[in-house]
Amino acid sequence: MLRIILLAAILASLTGCATKPPTSSFSGALHESERIDPLSVAALARPLKVTPSSGLSTSLEASNRVVAYDMFHSFYRTVEVEAENHGEVAVTVTSFCSCFGFDKRVVIPILLAFDTVGRYLQIDGIRYEVMKASGITPLRIVLSGQIQTSGAKIFRLLLLADNSLPDSPVKKILLVDQFGISIMNLQVLSYPVGDMALAVSASER
């Protein structure tokens, strides 16, 4: 009887949360021709700003401009970085899961780097890591790499979502009761909108 009550409580707490709009609901905004920018324009758009001493919290939202990248479209954020460096800057992008309820969604981040006139800067050592929820911090995807700046003090970053495979599974979450018995499996799916954080640190020599 206790297990039934516990299961009912878990299900009630999950289903009581607001349902997220399906990915398909963003299709119109992602394909409105007047909102779509080429990378060259997006790289030089009016930016948010960040330095090694100040992290940046932002989000990809359906109200953002859209960039055409690879074979898909994404909402985007342009960020200007100012950092004294010796030719390399480490960068970390953390994408936070919207994980309330059964419908769990997270942006798979993509990061591009440009100089102040829109030329590509190389990013080395790109790495993705899925980190489990911890305390009040939800599951998150962390992207890290090193930008080769050629010593430029100011450069640009583009934050995108990988929308190449919308609603693709990112992580499976197993729900168990207090006795360790499996209740159900849930999946975290890729999503075109969500909260992100950006941190940069300049190399020291």
Q: pTM score, two decimals?
A: 0.86
Percent of the chain with pLDDT over 70: 83
Where do the structural domains in the chain lie, given as residue ranges?
Answer: 2-202
The CATH class for the domain spanning 2-202 reads: mainly beta
Confidence of residue 183 (pLDDT cuts 50, 70, 90): very low
**Tell me, what's the pLDDT at 90?**
96
Cα 157 to Cα 160: distance, rounded to the nearest angstrom = 10
**In degrees to the nearest 10, what's the CA dihedral of 70, 75, 80, 83?**
-70
Cα 2 to Cα 5: distance, rounded to the nearest angstrom = 5
Confidence of residue 204 (pLDDT cuts 50, 70, 90): low
Cα 99 to Cα 116: distance, rounded to the nearest angstrom = 37
**Tell me, what's the pLDDT at 176?**
47
* pLDDT at residue 174 greater than cutoff 60: no
